[in-house]
Structure 1
């Protein structure tokens, strides 16, 4: 009796969230049982299939846990975490591309400036031994 009055005092959102969580746990549990049953039947079918079925059960269970955690976080109103690895790697790639573009631009700018700085001077030498002056 105490438990029923305690449950009645919760808000509608809390009751709906609790029901949704119970359904999710039930679905994950039944999915895990189904995968385990499939793995058992595959194990009986042949030894070559056993390793594949075991891997399937492990990966399916891991995926079910991951999805259940994400669903629970969504029901609790938590936002998914930022993909920091992706953000940091994108920033590093952007910095490397910017550095490469800057270096290339400086190199291209220095080549054109060197060509413009060359100055040709007409020199008139008196008393040249070769006799080119005149």
Structure 2
């Protein structure tokens, strides 16, 4: 009925289509989340600015002095709203960047796997392990050399203590 090759090709084509749609939807999701965050932050800023202007309107009824205070306060509230919206947008953007980056990495790895390309060797890990091995080898060699020197000194002292010194006597 179907040969193995056509089944494999069909499976690879389906996987490629799935990967392409996943990459496209990840990009769209990131854009939608950014827009939603910006819209939310703008709405919150407008709401706080509206509250501030209402307070300014109430204060103007009570006199010029109160209007001045309310104006200052509304500026402060608007500034706070702006800062908060910027922080919220920044946080949401950072989260979306991390998620988007991870999605791109996975998508590229999947595309490489479908194309038959093998992942590269982790050279940083290999270099780190070899440097660690060299440092441990050097430490072991230095320790063994010091132990051999101490052993030789101890043997020399032991021989000096047990050695009988024969002194010739002349005479009698």
With structure 2 as the length reference, what TM-score do the two structures score?
Answer: 0.60
C-alpha separation in 1, matches of 2:143 and 2:95: 51
What are the within-5 Å matches in structure 2 for residues 121-132 of structure 1?
Answer: 121=163, 122=165, 124=167
Q: Which runs of 5+ in 1 are unaligned?
A: 1-9, 127-134
Q: Which has the higher contact order (CA 8 A, sep 6+)?
A: 2
**2:29 is matched with which residue?**
34
Q: Which runs of 5+ in 2 are unaligned?
A: 42-84
Match of 1:106 among 142, 145, 149: 145
RMSD: 2.3
Question: Computing the radius of gyration over CA atoms, which structure comes out larger, 1 or 2?
Answer: 2
What are the within-5 Å matches in structure 2 for residues 79-94 of structure 1?
Answer: 79-94=118-133
Richer in helix (by share): 2
TM-superposed CA distance for 1:83, in Å, is: 0.5
With structure 1 as the length reference, what TM-score do the two structures score?
Answer: 0.75
Structure 1 moving runs of 4+ over 3 Å: 120-126
2:56 counterpart of 1:56: no
